[in-house]
Amino acid sequence: MKKLILINILFWALCIIIPLQVKADTKTETTVGHVVSETIKGTDIDISYIMEKELEAIAHKFMIESITVLQAYLPVILEGIASDMRLKADEKYKCELLENGGMNDGCN
């Protein structure tokens, strides 16, 4: 009975400790660890394919971050565009009003 309890405790301890040792914090650490372990084993791996996939993942992450930044600044950008359009419309309207009066104050 003591052996069964000891084996059970040992089994549960290993089930808890081993996953903590294997877990990597980031995808990059996992990929680098895989490449290093496969190189040590002498396995022929396609490093260019791995690099291509990593670059795609980084580009995707950059695109998501860019969209988030654009979303945050979009109201300011649109307000600036609207302001420029209002200024141009006002200038055009002013020139049309002054066209008949003979006062071409900066209008072409």
Domain ranges for the chain, please list them.
1-35, 46-108
**Model confidence, pTM:** 0.48
86 vs 93: CA distance, rounded Å:
10
- 24 pLDDT higher than 60: no
Residue 35 has a pLDDT of: 83
pLDDT tens sequence across 34-50: 888 888 888 888 888 88
DSSP-derived secondary structure letter, 44: -
pLDDT reading at 15 higher than 70:
no
* pLDDT over threshold 70, residue 102: no
Single-letter code of the amino acid located at 80: G
User: In the 3-class helix/strand/coil scheme, how is 5-43 assigned residue by residue?
Assistant: HHHHHHHHHHHHHHHHHHCCCCHHHHHHHHHHHHHHHCC
Distance in angstroms between the alpha carbons of the first and the last residue of the chain? 103
Q: Tell me, what's the pLDDT at 78?
A: 92
Distance from C-alpha of 97 to C-alpha of 74, rounded to nearest angstrom: 34
Residue 99 has pLDDT above 90, yes or no: no
CB of 47 closer than 8 Å to CB of 73? no
